[in-house]
Structure 1
Amino acid sequence: MDQLPARYETLLRVAAWLCLGFIAMATFSPLGLRPTTGWSPSIERFLAFALVGGLFAAAYPRYIVFAAVVVLGAAALFEILQVLSPSRHGRVFDAAVKFCGGTVGLIVGWLFVRVLPRR
């Protein structure tokens, strides 16, 4: 079993892309407009990319390499684009936190779909 019913897969794909878009918006919006949880920025980054990684893995279980390229590529791209912005700063540590979160999410999401009983 390595896929969900089509209606769930479609819903997960929409959610994955919307979540990635929200992360991009939060990353590039002015600091005063960024949503915050009250947790440390590293935890927020980790959890955001874990969520998006899990959604992409569950939405594209047969294309896990594609999901990984999108999630981890977005983490790298977001940090690189912050380096180019005069008011922002991209850091290797922040990218590493995003990579770790994305990787955990990809693994958990992929395993969830693999072991979820078919209904």
Structure 2
Amino acid sequence: MRMAARPLAWLLLLGILLVTVLPIEWRPVTGEPANLERLVAFALVGFVFVVGYPRHWWLVLGLVIAVALGFELAQLLAPSRHATLKDAVVKVAGGSLGVTAGVAANFLFTRLVPR
């Protein structure tokens, strides 16, 4: 599972980057509030990264936070986008929740599944 999670995590991160900096009209529409989309996207990335790199969860947390802030700042370069502190906080919160859930899942998996 770890080996599949690693490329998936990087692909998810690339997908979020593209959705973040491409023109707003190219952004997929789910019908959900944008903040919920941000929260869930970064939570998923954080979770999958921790599953892929379970011994480095603290580096994953730093990566997710840095990427959330970096992607938000990258929107300053896109004419049709805008960066806000609120959006950055939502992204950081989502990533942190995902990392926490991943750490908990790894802990439970190692305790409950016999080798």
**Any stretches of 5+ residues in structure 1 without a counterpart?**
1-7
User: Would the aligned equivalents of 1:53 and 1:68 in 2 still touch at CA under 8 Å?
Assistant: yes
Residue equivalent to 1:51: 44
Amino-acid identity (%): 38
**Any stretches of 5+ residues in structure 2 without a counterpart?**
none
Q: 2:30 aligned with 1:37, yes or no?
A: yes
User: Would the aligned equivalents of 2:46 and 2:64 in 1 still touch at CA under 8 Å?
Assistant: yes
For the aligned residue pairs, the C-alpha RMSD in angstroms reads: 1.1
Q: What's the TM-score, normalizing by structure 1?
A: 0.88
Secondary structure at the counterpart of residue 38 of structure 1? coil
Residue equivalent to 2:68: 75
Secondary structure at the counterpart of residue 15 of structure 2? helix
**Larger deviation, residues 77-86 vs 54-63:** 77-86
Q: What's the TM-score, normalizing by structure 2?
A: 0.91
Letter in structure 2 aligned against 1:28: V
Distance 1:96 1:14, change over 3 A: same
Q: Deviations over 1:3-31 (max 9, x none)?
A: xxxxx111000111010010001111111
